[in-house]
């Protein structure tokens, strides 16, 4: 019968313990990356959620309705104001006697036309609203979000509408 060797083993081989340490840090690294990605997503969501809602006549008058921040601007598309300039659609919107030019990159689509209330999302630069989204008054999205403002906007629409 062979004898069993019961002597204690020597110090662990440093090369053998390296993969164990690497495995210990990997879940922490993955968790950190997930938390950072989640923070970026939440920050983007909250930034877009705090767009101020303004009428054209409130620009520079009401807190939050200025060129330092993103806004959602309501007004009626002015008669004979729609032009295609390169890839952009340029038009003016008005509300309560105040007017602002809008430059929208692309074609607004849908039933966008003169004399209808719209909400344009964007930033004011050099007195022009640089729009990146247009909600047309007759779309379900516009009505559900802006129902209380429709009556005011229709009251100041074009004379031929």
Alpha helices, H only, the chain? 14-49, 140-155
Q: Are residues 35 and 109 in the same domain?
A: no
Q: How confident is the model at residue 74 (pLDDT cuts 50, 70, 90)?
A: very high
Q: What rounded mean pLDDT belongs to the chain?
A: 80
Q: What is the pLDDT of residues 13-57, one digit of tens each?
A: 555 555 555 667 888 889 999 999 999 888 877 765 566 789 999
Map 68-101 to HEC letters: CCCEEEEEEECCCCCEEECCEEEEEEEECCEEEE
Q: Are residues 80 and 32 in the same domain?
A: no
Is residue 157 over pLDDT 90?
Answer: no
150 — alpha (psi -120 to 50), left (phi > 0) or beta?
Answer: alpha
Query: At 113, which helix (H) or strand (E)?
Result: none
Torsion-angle region of 20 (φ positive above 0: left; ψ -120 to 50: alpha; else: beta): alpha
pTM of the model: 0.59
* Domain span holding position 36: 15-49
Identify whether 33 is part of a domain.
yes
């Amino acid at each position: 019968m062979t004898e069993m060797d019961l002597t204690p083993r020597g110090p662990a081989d440093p090369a053998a313990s390296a993969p164990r340490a690497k495995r210990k840090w990997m879940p922490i690294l993955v968790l950190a990356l997930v938390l950072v990605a989640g923070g970026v997503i939440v920050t983007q969501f909250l930034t877009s959620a705090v767009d101020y809602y303004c009428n054209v006549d409130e620009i520079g008058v009401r807190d939050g309705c200025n060129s330092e921040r993103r806004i959602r601007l309501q007004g009626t598309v002015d008669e004979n104001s729609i032009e295609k300039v390169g890839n952009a659609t340029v038009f003016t919107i008005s509300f309560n006697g105040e007017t602002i030019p809008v430059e929208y990159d692309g074609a607004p689509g849908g039933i966008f036309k003169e004399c209808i209330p719209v909400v344009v999302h964007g930033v004011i630069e050099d007195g022009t609203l640089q729009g990146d989204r247009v909600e047309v008054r007759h779309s379900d999205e516009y009505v559900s979000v802006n129902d209380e403002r429709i009556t005011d906007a229709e009251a100041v629409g074009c004379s031929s509408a």
